[in-house]
Amino acid sequence: MANYRIDMSKIRYILRLYSQGRSKLQISMHGGVSRNTLKTYIKLFEQSGLSYSQLDELTDKDLEQLFIKSAEKPLNAKQKQLFNLFPDYEKQLKRKGMTRQILWEDYHKSHPEGFRRSQFNHYFKQWKAHRHPTMHIEHKAGDKMYVDFTGDKLHYIDVQTGELCTVEVFVSILGASQLTYVEAVASQKKEDFIAACESALHYYGGVPAALVPDNLKSAVTKSSKYEPTLNELFEDFAEHYGFTILPARAYKPRDKAHVENAVKIVYQRIYTKLHLQTFYSLQEINEAIHSSALEDLNNAPLTGRDYSRRQQYEEVERQYMSALPTLKYEFKKIHYATVGKNGHAYLSENKHLYSVPYKYIGKKVKILYTRQTVEIYYDYERIAIHNWSKAPNAYTTDKDHLASNHRFVAEWNPDRFREWAHSIHEDVGLFIHKILQSKSHPEQGYKSCLGVLNFTKKVGNDRLIKACQRALAYGTYNYGIIDHILKTGLDKNNEADAEQLQMPLHDNIRGQDYYQ
């Protein structure tokens, strides 16, 4: 009896040798089959009543029906009972922590007269081999989501130009439940790819542990057998949703067999429904996909099972999916810039300059930006964040980013000087006010004000107060008069004698401290 399947070509070969009068021993040796298996096929050949030439004209499918199916023993009642349980067991195996050992223990409790563990596993493998002719990868619930683009594209007609526009079709599938999502997008660029992945996650209502993309440029910058380089924006998107990226290995079709099979099903179940329709926008294509075709696909019973993708997802997988974040991902653009000597990085898109801490002057930084925020990174560490500005050729500056001397200069303004002066004495405040008032623009008096107020560090508050009082009496308001009064000691003379001034004072006369 044939206990395993052999190729149709080998059956044709051993029967040809038999028709040529070769001995069973010779045929067994040349054909690479056991003598018992050979006897079974010879017996079936003789029972068929066909000549070898007639048999050779049969298709492989007919030959299989004649020899393989006939050679298989029919299942007994005990085996039928077990095989009927396998579809449910297969579904249970997708649950996290479920094993064949646990399934067998459960089976043995309810069927104590049933098969032992080794036979249970043998028949389960046999059943799976019949259901899945190629090697099957076990998929755990909530573990992986596979994504890819179809090879065949869809089209719509631009109503304004009459041009036929081509669109890409994105497909994703969950490994355990096989719940599928399909969306037409404008391109395979990272903006469209990330948006489609996000739509898929929201369609599922949860996030799997890992996402398995093909080696798309939008996901993988540089493919590698051991450590592929991932696209930075796609990594940022993965971090936002909390999943891991596991790129499929190049030239390893089994890594993406799930999604490739899904693509074939999309051709059969969705493309055929859209084939005879005419569309005039990308939105119309997606409405046609999502309105019925996609739901029909997910709600249809799986081949050989009495449950659908949607039912399997709700019963088995949904509970293992992580929760979606509160906010959707905001797509970020990347720009690289070198920090200028003024401590600002230039963003070319809006021609605006944003500050960073002064210690990064001369360093090359990465800028991640949206229409709301601008984030600046150095060595994977965020060093600055600002609001997006629409003002071209302008500066956005955080005062904490400036060096101490730069920060002080940046904070110069009339009110600051007035407050400082009044904190010393009202007459000092009045003198500073007069300096600022005498200038056509307040900034022209900033250095004079700073020079006057800094005299407190050299001579103290009392002498500066008296010097300002004497200068107010003179009606002269500049740095030079205060410097002269203090140098000549006139602030110590209570009599305001203007004649003691040996030379007229005006803005062009500056003390030596002005240049220090």
Q: What's the Cα-to-Cα distance from 51 to each of 16, 18, 20, 59, 491, rounded to whole Å?
A: 10, 11, 12, 15, 135
Share of the chain above pLDDT 70, in %: 79
Range 408-437 average pLDDT: 83
Do 368 and 420 fall into the same domain?
A: no
Q: Same domain, yes or no, for 358 and 458?
A: no
Strands (E), 288-350: 333-338, 344-347
Report the distance separating Cα 150 and Cα 172, nearest Å: 10
Please say whether the beta carbons of 453 and 468 come within 8 A.
no
- Where is the domain boundary, 274, 290, 320? 320
Same domain, residue pair 222 and 314: yes
- Judgement on whether residues 392 and 466 belong to the same structural domain of the protein: no
The answer to whether residues 186 and 304 belong to one domain is yes
pLDDT number for residue 134: 42
Give the pLDDT mean for 422-429.
Answer: 91
Q: Which amino acid is at 54?
A: Q
The more confidently predicted of residues 315 and 215 is 315
pLDDT tens string 236-277: 888 888 888 877 654 444 445 667 788 888 888 888 888 878
Structure tokens of 26?
Answer: 């010779």
DSSP H helix total and E strand total for the chain: 23, 15
321 or 492, which is more confident: 321
**How many CA atoms are closer than 13 Å to the CA of 166, on its beta-carbon side?**
7
At residue 141, the pLDDT reads 82
Distances (CA, A) of 224 to 51, 218, 246, 408: 55, 15, 12, 52
174 exposure class (CB count in 10 Å sphere: 0-12, 13-18, 19+): buried
Q: Which of 69, 219, 54 is nearest to 148 (CA)?
A: 219
Q: Are residues 356 and 240 in the same domain?
A: no
Range with the largest mean pLDDT of 50-54, 130-134, 224-228, 307-311: 307-311
Angstrom distances, CA of residue 439 to CA of 444, 445, 472, 477: 6, 6, 17, 10
92, β-bridge pairs: none
pLDDT at 111 over 60: yes
Whether residue 355 sits in one domain with residue 257: no
Is the pLDDT at 226 greater than 60, yes or no?
A: no
Query: Which residues constitute the domain of residue 53?
Result: 8-71
Measured torsion, CA atoms of residues 360, 365, 368, 372, in degrees rounded to the nearest 10: 40
Give residue 2's pLDDT: 40
Residue 434 resides in a domain: yes
In a domain, 327, yes or no: no
pLDDT in tens, 360-393: 888 899 988 877 889 899 887 888 889 888 888 7
Amino acid identity at 415: D
Question: How many whole angstroms separate alpha carbon 503 and alpha carbon 474?
Answer: 13
46-66 residue pLDDT tens: 777 777 777 777 776 667 666
CB 372 within 8 A of CB 346: no
Residue 494 shares a structural domain with residue 421: yes
Is 118 domain-assigned? yes
In a domain, 326, yes or no: no
In a domain, 397, yes or no: yes
pLDDT tens for each residue of 166-215:
999 999 998 888 899 999 999 888 888 889 999 999 999 999 988 888 76
Indicate whether 106 and 246 sit together in one domain. no
Residue 148's H or E segment, with its range, is strand 144-149
First-to-last CA distance in the chain?
Answer: 108
Are residues 444 and 298 both part of a single domain? no
Residue 405 has pLDDT above 60, yes or no: no
Residue 396: count other Cβ atoms within 10 Å of its Cβ: 17
Q: Tell which of 131, 155, 175 closes a domain.
A: 131
Whether 268 is covered by a domain: the verdict is yes
Domain count along the chain: 5
Reported in sequence order, the residue ranges of 297-363 that DSSP labels E, i.e. its strands, are: 333-338, 344-347, 352-355
Domain boundary among 262, 288, 320: 320
Give the span between the Cα atoms of 57 and 256, in whole angstroms.
Answer: 37
Residue with token string 């043998």: 122
**Euclidean distance between CA atoms 227 and 247, whole angstroms:** 9
Per the domain annotation, does 63 fall within a domain?
yes
User: Which residues, 6 or more positions from 86, have their beta carbon under 8 angstroms from its beta carbon?
Assistant: 123, 124, 127, 128
Q: Mark whether 214 and 354 lie in a shared domain.
A: no
CATH number at residue 249: 3.30.420.10
**pTM to 2 decimals?**
0.49
Q: Using CA atoms, how far apart are residues 93 and 83, in angstroms rounded to an integer?
A: 15
d(CA 431, CA 475): 10
| DSSP symbol at 314 | I
Q: Do 219 and 90 fall within a single domain?
A: no
pLDDT band, very low/low/confident/very high, at 496 (cuts 50, 70, 90): very low
Q: Which of 354-368, 443-457, 483-497 has the lowest mean pLDDT?
A: 483-497
